[in-house]
Amino acid sequence: MHSQYAHGCTLGQSDYNATVRVVMLSKALVVGQYQKKLEELARYADLELTVVVPPYWRDERGVISFERAYTRGYTLLIEPLRWNGHFHLHYYPTLPRLLARVRPDLVHIDEEPYNLATWHALRAARRVGAKALFFTWQNILRRYPPPFAWMEAYVLRHSDYAIAGNADAVRVLRAKNFCGAVRVIPQFGIDPELFRPNPVASAHHEFRIGAGVGRWVEEKGIDVLLRAAAGLSGNWRICLRGSGPAHAQLVALARQLGISDRVHFQPPCPSVEMPAFYNQLDVFVMPSRTRPNWKEQFGRALVEAMACGVPVIGSDSGEIPNVIGEAGLIFREDDVDALRTHLIALRDAPTRRTELGTRGRARVLAHLTHARIAQATYDVYREILASSTTR
């Protein structure tokens, strides 16, 4: 499958002359490993990058404090966030004064178009004559009540560009009459030096299946994996790394299926420790299932596993098939028998596992590293500013 990611003009620095001043705001960048993309952007000598992040972000997992990890080459500003924890309503009250001081050419709003933060930042950008773009993961067509519908309509009408994290998000934008340019670029890539194969870690005598990285909820389909694995013969183990409201139900299901001793529930760990988790596996599975209000938007854990040379199996929910491409196996959502067939096929074919693992690593290096995401983002910046059209 031809990758949809990080393709485009891919111009080099020699194609440009004028320095570009960009202000990016993103609450996601409180996570240290994501800041690597900023250092990669900062490598472009004609780009002056200022990044605005909050001191923390609060969600259902609790408070995620800012992690200072990759901060070279750009200006990092930690600014207060009003209504922190309210996904639709938070915003940066100091941003208008900041933009008036920096006078950027472009404001990169790393938020959904229906959020107050996006509307507020776009208005502030227009007041200082800057162009603006927003980011969206939203891959299901939804209609929002006022005032969110009004804010979204304003953003879609006045933004110069949109970056979509997946192909379905582009279709949603077009259905909502966004007429500007759109490019599919995942929000963040991965560091291939951190997430890399370690053959020593995988030396064991059982077939190890990994899954459940992140939040354990019904739509992640971990129960499908448990049911599929229950029909496997031989020596195998499932390793789950995360937490969430479905934990108790999954424990009960494993007990009901008679596989409790083969299913290992492990708590979340820092991102720098995740390569060790992936490198103990023979296969990684993402069995997500679509629901009326959700389908898989990307599947970052798939990319991390692929970068570690681990073969992957995914359902056909949302963006999963596009992420995997020809580097893994796909099954129909909720199809327990199909997933079991894939598990058996990889269990019994070590050479096939190695082949898919090699393909996965190559796919990540070609399209999904921080450097590739940064390059594609830089090209978007220059594309916006090269255009003489003002929306």
The CATH number given to whatever domain includes residue 133 is: 3.40.50.2000
User: What distances in angstroms separate CA 222 from CA 96, 131, 239, 250, one per listed residue?
Assistant: 45, 43, 11, 8
- Same domain? For 376 and 343 the reply is no
Residue 52's CB: how many other CB atoms inside 10 A?
26
Distance CA 365, CA 371 (A): 9
**Which tokens is 35 given?**
């800041």
Does some domain include residue 44? yes
Backbone phi and psi for residue 386, each to the nearest 5 degrees, phi listed first? -80, -20
- Same domain? For 221 and 164 the reply is no
Torsion, CA 256, CA 260, CA 262, CA 263, rounded to 10: 100
- Same domain? For 241 and 339 the reply is yes
Q: Which of 311, 309, 302 is nearest to 346 (CA)?
A: 311
Tens place of pLDDT for every residue, the chain, 391 residues?
345 665 544 444 445 568 999 999 999 999 998 999 999 999 999 999 999 999 999 987 678 899 999 999 999 999 999 999 999 999 999 999 999 999 999 999 999 999 999 999 999 999 999 999 999 999 999 999 999 999 999 999 999 999 999 999 999 999 999 999 999 999 999 999 999 999 765 566 799 999 999 889 999 999 999 999 999 999 999 999 999 999 999 999 999 999 999 999 999 888 888 999 999 999 999 999 999 999 999 999 999 999 999 999 999 999 999 999 999 999 999 999 999 999 999 999 999 999 999 999 999 999 999 999 999 999 999 999 998 444 4
- Same domain? For 51 and 158 the reply is yes
Does some domain include residue 215? yes
Crossing angle between the packed helical segments 116-127 and 95-102, to the nearest 10 degrees: 30
In 3-state terms, what secondary structure has residue 256? Answer: helix
> What are the b/e assignments for 191-211, b being 16+ CB within 10 Å?
bbeebbbeeeebeeeebbbbb
Distance CA 78, CA 55 (A): 6
Asked if residues 57 and 85 have their Cβ atoms less than 8 Å apart, the reply is: yes
Q: Where are the beta strands (DSSP E) in the chain?
A: 20-25, 47-53, 56-59, 62-65, 75-78, 106-109, 131-136, 161-164, 181-184, 207-215, 236-243, 263-266, 283-286, 312-315, 328-331
Distance CA 250, CA 253 (A): 5
- Same domain? For 130 and 168 the reply is yes
- Same domain? For 173 and 39 the reply is yes
- Same domain? For 322 and 382 the reply is no
> What are the b/e assignments for 105-125, b being 16+ CB within 10 Å?
bbbbbbbbbbbbbbbbbbbbb
Residue 327's CB: how many other CB atoms inside 10 A?
22
- Same domain? For 273 and 236 the reply is yes
Q: Where are the beta strands (DSSP E) in 287-333?
A: 312-315, 328-331
What's residue 11's pLDDT?
44
**Which tokens is 256 given?**
């009901």
Asked if residues 51 and 76 have their Cβ atoms less than 8 Å apart, the reply is: yes
Domain region containing 212: 199-367
- Same domain? For 132 and 183 the reply is yes
Distance CA 158, CA 107 (A): 13
**Which tokens is 161 given?**
């560009």
The number of distinct structural domains making up the chain is 2
Does some domain include residue 391? no
Written as one letter, the residue type at 126 is: R
**Which tokens is 159 given?**
């933004």
Backbone phi and psi for residue 314, each to the nearest 5 degrees, phi listed first? -140, 155
What's residue 8's pLDDT?
46
Distance CA 154, CA 139 (A): 20
Does some domain include residue 194? no
- For every residue of 24-45, DSSP letters joined together read EE-GGGGSGGGGHHHHHHHTST
Distance CA 34, CA 121 (A): 21
- Same domain? For 125 and 252 the reply is no
- Same domain? For 67 and 165 the reply is yes
Does some domain include residue 317? yes
Note the helical H segments in 94-146.
95-102, 116-127
Does some domain include residue 2? no
DSSP category for residue 206: S
- Same domain? For 216 and 144 the reply is no
Distance CA 133, CA 193 (A): 30
Does some domain include residue 3? no
Does some domain include residue 6? no
In 3-state terms, what secondary structure has residue 276? Answer: helix
**Which tokens is 332 given?**
């129909």
